[in-house]
Amino acid sequence: MKKSTKKRWLSALLVAIMTAASLAACGGEPASTESSGAAESKTEESSQAPEESAPEESGEEAGGEAEAPAEGGAGTAEALLLEPYPEPVDIHIVLQYRESENPDTPADVTPETSTAVKLLKEELNINLIYDWIVNADQYSQKFGAELAAGNVPDIVMLGPNDFEDLVSQGGLLDLTEAYEQYTCPDLENIYNFDGSFIDVGKKDGKLYGLPMGTDPAQMTSQMYYDMNQLKEVGITSKDQLPKTIEEFEALCDKLMEATGGPVLPACKNYIDAQLGDFSPFFHAYETWAGGWYDNNGTLEYAGIREENKETLTKLNEWYNKGYFKKDFAAYDIWAADSQVVSDIVAGKYAIVPGSWWVPNWPLNSNKVEHPEADWVVGPNLSLDGEQPDIMISRYPVNNFIGVGLNCEHPEVIFKLIYWSLQYTLKNSPPEVQNAMTEEEKTEWNSYVYTWVPWRIYSPTCLRQNFEVINEFAKQGKTEISLEEAPRNNEFWGSWASYLNYMENPDDGVAWGTYFSRLAEDGGVDNMIKTVESANIIYDEVYVTTPSMITKQGELNKLRDNAYISIIMGEEPVSYFDTFVEQWKAQGGDDIAKEVNEWYQNK
């Protein structure tokens, strides 16, 4: 296709891209309905900053160990991936800029002078060229304008909506042939961890994008209890913690009597915030506020099920009892100075619902201020005390990495991802970092993973690192060889966290990282136990349909307003029926038709 032709279709595409940027849903829906642009998952972390407060598996199977790169021979994928181009290759990229998460990154380093740019030129003869760099609040507008001008980067990170649009308009190269030639076990662990994840990036049997995602199990919720505070109401051992909603309510009543309340953190991000939300209570009733599940071959939207009334009724009862702040819907858990987070850190709650990473933040900060705090994970709540059914996405996709039509080397994306992974694995071990010269430290700290439009996160790394490190712990190991280490970019940070906790068990920050990732009966351990013991209902939809792009955002607002109004008593529970009718009429039925057509023909 000639460039003039590309410019014509890209101009037409601008309307769809800008619509997606302004209307697409955010927050509690599956990743496939996120807004366009290079959205980052809340659960993805850099291996260079293993103790960062912001939250984030490999081998041929979950928990298995990936193969080391093949030695040598010309023609193997590993050899091709590290083979320099005979002539310089210019690769044009763009950047949604954010500061480095690594506090040791030199102040004078910029994306253009970073280690990735320097070493890719030296080692692979690849010139990374930033066509433009803007802050997050300017990205969508700039990206849309550049597309209208016919300027698609050679390598681009796309949110699901933009990916769907560009593929449908013929804006991305087919990567099928390059994938077959250049993929290898290390790369499969990133974008095809279970042997079928790669299919998310295919359209009509052709591969147009490499999916970047997380372990579906990370969507599970847990209940954290401070045993030190619970002593005041007679809870002195973990086996006394509630298993049923009835037992949980009795505990909250005791806490209300002892403290005056509120006794549970709550926020306007009432579902799937993964901290201080109502997800564990919806799960207890085997209900869900979103997601498309298979009901005898037909996809149905969980957010409009009649059963949700029972959950909303119970939450309204708790609201009237004072379990939550009366104005909880005014608080954003992710605000820079979130009052909900501040209250958790201050020790105002003995119970905190949240995801596996919550000990790493903000419970670590609570433990720093209150060393006597004794946080544990309690049973998953249900009506009968048994593990309830849970819903998780079949494939939670954060972004896709695509290659623009002007790029003459579609294989370069595989070389770039592989180079980043090998560089990280080579330089992450503690003994390597301890032996670094000042110049080498500067080079390492000048590698900023958020400044390149690809990622090396392996979705199975949490499970794998938990299992491997706990096995090392049973063997009493405090030193391991490179050959023993799993080949995922998170491992060495987790190993350092384990050693740090062993040396500093009373340090709140060290505890948080250890308890979230590595402790038996900690965050990841309970995440694994939950998905291994529960009957799983899958949210089957991992694509974005046309009606989702234009209508999903408003439908989410409609749902959220209805749910919160019922919980706060502003509307009776019967209002749920009115919401369902409005949801269907305002686009829900259109989306249902589209997702079922896709589901029957995929």
Q: How many CA atoms lie within 13 A of 554 on its CB side?
A: 16
Cα 526 to its chain centre, rounded Å, is 18
Q: Across the beta sheet with 375-377, what order do the strands follow?
A: 351-354, 222-226, 375-377
| Residues 9-61 pLDDT 10s | 343 333 333 333 333 333 333 333 333 333 343 444 433 333 333 333 333 33
- Provide the β-strand partners of residue 92: 129
Indicate whether 581 and 545 sit together in one domain: yes
Of 478, 504, 535, the residue at which a domain comes to its end is 535
Same domain flag for 130 and 181: yes
Cβ pair 524, 497 in contact under 8 A = no
Are 530 and 564 within one domain?
no
Is residue 64 a part of any domain in this protein?
A: no
Q: How many domains does the chain have?
A: 3
Q: Is residue 259 part of a domain?
A: yes
CA atoms within 13 A on the CB side of 109: 22
Question: Average pLDDT of 580-597?
Answer: 98
- Give 206's strand partners: 203
Is residue 325's pLDDT more than 60?
yes
Residues 6 or more apart from 440 whose CB is under 8 A from it? none
Domain-embedded: residue 98: yes
Q: DSSP assignment, residue 519?
A: S
In the numeric block, the tokens 């595989």 are attached to: 414
Quick one: residue 569, left, alpha or beta (phi over 0 = left, psi -120 to 50 = alpha)?
Answer: left
Give Cβ neighbours of residue 89 (< 8 Å, ≥ 6 apart): 125, 126, 127, 408, 409, 412
Running DSSP on this structure, what letter comes out for residue 99? -
Whether 414 is in a domain gets the answer yes
Task: Give me 448's structure tokens.
Answer: 């900023």
Mean pLDDT to the nearest integer, 564-589:
98
Taking the C-alpha atoms of residue 381 and residue 387, their distance in angstroms, rounded to an integer, is 7
How many other C-beta atoms are found inside a 10 Å radius of the C-beta of residue 488?
31
pLDDT at 11: 38
- Sorting pLDDT into bands at 50, 70 and 90, what band is 280? very high
Residues 52 and 145 in one domain: yes
Angle, CA 77 vertex, CA 420 and CA 75 arms, to 5°: 135
What gap in Å lies between CA 36 and CA 140, rounded to an integer? Answer: 8
Task: Please indicate, yes or no, whether residues 319 and 231 belong to a single structural domain of this protein.
Answer: yes
206-207 and 202-203 strand pairing: antiparallel
Give pLDDT tens digits for 170-185.
Answer: 999 999 999 999 999 9
Predicted confidence band of residue 389 (pLDDT cuts 50, 70, 90):
very high
**The amino acid at 53:** S
Query: The tokens of 141 are what?
Result: 């507008």
Q: In terms of residues, how long is the chain?
A: 602
Q: Is the pLDDT of residue 79 over 80?
A: yes
Give the model's pLDDT for residue 160.
Answer: 83
Domain that holds residue 477: 461-535
The answer to whether the beta carbons of residues 149 and 10 sit under 8 Å apart is yes
Q: Are residues 343 and 293 in the same domain?
A: yes
Which residue has better confidence, 263 or 9?
A: 263
Half-sphere exposure of 257 (CA within 13 A, CB side): 10
Packing angle of the helix pair 3-23, 546-567 (nearest 10 deg):
10
pLDDT digits (tens, 9 = 90+) for 431-463: 999 999 999 999 999 999 999 999 999 999 999
Q: What is the CATH number of the domain that holds 567?
A: 3.40.190.10
- How far is 53 from 494, CA to CA, in rounded Å? 14
Q: What integer pLDDT is reported at residue 73 of this predicted model? A: 54
Of 503, 519, 535, at which residue does a domain stop? 535
Examine the fold and report which residue of 451, 485, 519 is the final residue of a domain before the chain moves on: 451
Note whether 175 and 231 are same-domain residues: no
Same domain, 236 and 361: yes
pLDDT digits (tens, 9 = 90+) for 136-171: 889 989 998 998 888 899 999 998 878 988 998 899
What's the pLDDT score for residue 542? 85
Residues 491 and 520: their CA atoms lie apart, in Å, by 17
Q: Is residue 456 part of a domain?
A: no
How large a percentage of the chain has pLDDT more than 70?
Answer: 88
Check whether residue 569 and residue 474 sit in a common domain. Answer: no
DSSP state of 410: T
Choice between 149 and 522, residue whose per-residue pLDDT is larger: 522
pLDDT of the residue at 18:
34
Asked whether residue 330 falls in the same domain as residue 347, the answer is yes
Same domain, 466 and 342: no
Percent of the chain surpassing pLDDT 90: 81
CA 116/CA 98 separation, integer angstroms:
16
Within-domain flag for 164: yes
- 65 part of a folded domain: no
Q: Does 262 sit behind a cis peptide bond, omega within 30 degrees of 0 on the bond before it?
A: yes
In a domain, 160, yes or no: yes
3-state secondary structure string across 290-329: CCEEEECCEEEEHHHCCCHHHHHHHHHHHHHHCCCCCCHH
Tell me if 27 sits within 8 A of 272, measured CB to CB: yes
Read off the pLDDT of each residue in 83-95 and give the average, rounded to a whole number: 98
* pLDDT value at residue 238: 97
Question: Domain check: are 331 and 378 in the same one?
Answer: yes
